[in-house]
Amino acid sequence: MNQKTICIHGCKEKKDLTGSVSVPIYQSATFAHPAVGKSTGYDYSRQQNPTREHLECTVAALEGGSHAVAFTSGMAAITALMELFQPGDHIIASEDLYGGSIRLFEQINKKNGLRFSYADTSDATKIEALITKDTKAVFIETPSNPTMIVTDIKAVSELTKPRGILLIVDNTFLTPYFQKPLQLGADIIVHSGTKYLCGHNDTLAGFLVTEDQKLGEKLRHLLMSLGSCLSPFDSWLLIRGIKTLAIRMEKQQENAIAIAHWLKTHPKVKKVYYAGLSEHPSYEISSTQASGFGSMISFTVDSEATAVQVLEKVELILYAESLGGVETLITYPMLQTHADLTKEERDARGINETLLRLSVGLEFAEDLISDLKQALD
């Protein structure tokens, strides 16, 4: 079935018998047993809820997986994911990575005995050089946050699979509509469902997706044990948001391409990071492993003063954290998404005083360009 149809109709299994077109919100913490030793299939909503189950089934179908588990946020999903590992285990991660993930790895997981190494994962040889007998996983974002580094998922899987190392891919930026990491050799997919899957900046959610039966059972056990399950109402918001995922991703990408090309022409813009530009170093890989380039753009300007000016002068575009919603947002990574990194760590990643990140929304592209122009001039 085509992804556009899956987005609209979701999971094939219907729990409602009334014919309701909208998936019902089963706002119940617990479910009655029909008899001793018998169950309706639902006992307690921390374990499973019909509304959340419909959402998880939909996300699994979109990703081509057999299991999807929905959490209260993207960070809750990654926190649970790290519980797959034991003290002493080694994980290799993209060096250009969402700051919240780095904070979790460095401030929480390290004290619990996990070890991390970071690499430019666009170069598979740099990953291979870091692999040890204790390496249990490679964790990548592609495109990365915020400098849009693209990693060849298939090339990395060719390193990890023969060694029994898990390949984990954060697919938040492109979503399953544009990129399917499981088909390229990934073992687990991470999503901040808050972003494009929801698409309306009105709730938090996270997902872990796999096609491996045993991994899926482990992830479900972790969700039940840790308790960070997505609520029925938030699950319904995600179901509703996913219905327009395809059309949103297409239009937001169309806007992003127009804006990226315009930014290249402005004298105060020094560099544009967008995987859909032919001069992007991994444009060919993106074209091969994904069906689209998404709508995330980062760009550097000529000075810190110009960056601050843009943030304070934009009118239509909102200066706010997060991404993936219908509204265009602009972010200052050094003060927001990556504020917990040291200046040296940020500088090494190119996250400096002149870098801005743009999440392109659904507004009329010319209106967005006009807003950027007046803010830059």
Are 262 and 367 within 8 A, CB to CB?
Answer: no
> Catalytic residue at 371?
no
Please give the span between the terminal C-alpha atoms of the chain, in angstroms, as a whole number: 48
Dist. CA 1–CA 8, nearest whole Å: 11
Strand pairing category for 355-359 and 135-141? unpaired
Are 51 and 26 within 8 A, CB to CB?
Answer: yes
Catalytic residue among 98, 196, 273, 274: 98
Catalytic residue among 115, 136, 180, 195: 195
Tokens found for residue 215: 């991994």
Catalytic residue among 26, 42, 152, 170: 170
Dist. CA 49–CA 81, nearest whole Å: 21
> Catalytic residue at 98?
yes
Dist. CA 85–CA 137, nearest whole Å: 9
What angle (nearest 5°) sits at the alpha carbon of residue 91, between those of residues 59 and 73?
A: 35
Are 261 and 366 within 8 A, CB to CB?
Answer: no
Dist. CA 66–CA 315, nearest whole Å: 44
CB crowding 92-126: b at 16 or more within 10 Å, else e: bbbbbbbbbbbbbbeeebeeeebbebbbbbbebee
> Catalytic residue at 170?
yes
* Residues labelled as active-site residues: 46, 98, 170, 195
